Amino acid sequence: MIATIEWTYTTRKGPETVFRSEEMNAADAVLIADDLEKTGRTKQVKFLDRFDSYWTMKEMKGYLKGIETEPHNITVYFDGGFDQTTKAAGLGCVIYYDQNGKSYRLRRNAAVEELISNNEAEYAALHFCLQELELLNVHDLSVQFIGDSRVVINHLSEEWPVIEEGLFSWADRIEAKMNQLGIHPEYVLVSRKANAEADRLAGQALKGVEITATSEKASE
């Protein structure tokens, strides 16, 4: 979860004011809030999530304890490639997540047929990522989805209307899977260069190279 700390600061002579932090990982927010409370000048500490819901310190610590053994702090990169000549598509998926105090990176790709455009391949790649999240038992969490497809990102974030019937069907399937898993998505559009890992996986799938790998990330 991404959260903002909101707290009331009291001076020695009585005047008070309210401060709000920048957004950060919920676990970091709790550590900082704990430290703020130790100053003895802080009161009414609470946390605001991206859905405008407030959490108390007790609620936030309970939430973090509850998800400790499950995948959380999830970021997903997706990309779809399409060969106009062969009508084959390659799907790339990279998932970063934390679990049991460690950080992991999952890389997965797949080759598929019967798609008709690069835009459809991009949608299929995102749906493929949702299937991987389901296998990880991800549920009832906020998840950041990062891709370089302006069409997919703007459609799903409702910046653009979905007009093409084939893409509308994919958008419907993705929304249904999100609802089934209880995922609250945040969509981020990036350049192709910033999405290189997922792009490479999609390209490898088009060449018949299958990748399935999960590795632990080294501590920074």
| pLDDT, tens only, 192-203 | 999 999 999 999
Domain count, the chain: 2
Q: What residues of the chain score a pLDDT lower than 50? A: none
SS3 content of the chain, % helix, strand, coil (to 5): 35, 35, 30
Distance CA 195, CA 187 (A): 13
- Six-digit token string for 122: 């991009």
Q: Domain check: are 55 and 84 in the same one?
A: no
What pLDDT score was predicted for residue 203? 95
What pLDDT score was predicted for residue 101? 85
Q: Domain check: are 76 and 26 in the same one?
A: no
What pLDDT score was predicted for residue 106? 96
Distance CA 144, CA 133 (A): 12
Element (H or E) spanning 142, and its range?
A: strand 142-147
What pLDDT score was predicted for residue 11? 83
Q: Can you give the residue range of the structural domain that contains 209?
A: 72-216
What pLDDT score was predicted for residue 142? 87
Q: Domain check: are 148 and 172 in the same one?
A: yes
Q: Domain check: are 12 and 82 in the same one?
A: no
Percentage with pLDDT > 90 across the chain: 60
Helix/strand/coil for 23 = coil
What pLDDT score was predicted for residue 50? 77
What pLDDT score was predicted for residue 220? 52
Q: Domain check: are 45 and 138 in the same one?
A: no
Distance CA 6, CA 63 (A): 18
What pLDDT score was predicted for residue 176? 95
Decide: pTM greater than 0.85: no
Distance CA 39, CA 92 (A): 48
CA max distance for the chain = 76
Domain boundary at 48, 67, 86, which?
A: 67
What pLDDT score was predicted for residue 219? 56
